[in-house]
Amino acid sequence: MSNVKEDIISHQMRVYQLMYRLSKLIEERSLSHDASKFQPDELPAYEKYVPLLAAATTAEEFNKLKEEFKPTRDLHKSRNRHHVEFHENGAEGMTLVDLVELFADAVSGSRGSVEERIAKLDIPEVLIQILYNTYGASK
């Protein structure tokens, strides 16, 4: 086999190894997503406020409940890398795995449209478009 063929095969193997590692990191993250919500200092507030927020009939009521729930949400965000607030320098501190999880989290949310949830993400527009492209969604 020529050196060129060996180089190509070696390159293919390096790319495979890096992409396989990335896929395993994404898989691990998907299995542990939002696990902190089951912690004793998060779960009671989620059990209390999520149904109340869903049942809120006025913006005033919703905003009041949201404000009461904020300390627990902030705690949750401080524990989970897929939240921009976790990082001192926001989205610039995130990894590709963090972004993939953040996007999947936003797309799979239950309140509002996908577009509304995505618009709330504090990440550069170009990254949002790349994630849309990756997931096959159209903007």
Question: 45 is written with which tokens?
Answer: 């507030």
Domain spans, the chain: 1-32, 35-80, 81-139
Kindly report whether the global pTM for this prediction surpasses the value 0.95. no
Residues 17-70: tens digit of each pLDDT: 999 999 999 999 999 999 999 999 999 999 999 999 999 999 999 999 999 999
pLDDT in tens, 105-120: 888 876 667 777 777 7
Phi/psi at 101 (nearest 5 deg)?
-65, -45
| Whether 102 contacts 128, CB under 8 Å | no
Cβ atoms within 10 Å, residue 58:
8
Sign of the four-CA dihedral 42, 45, 48, 52? negative
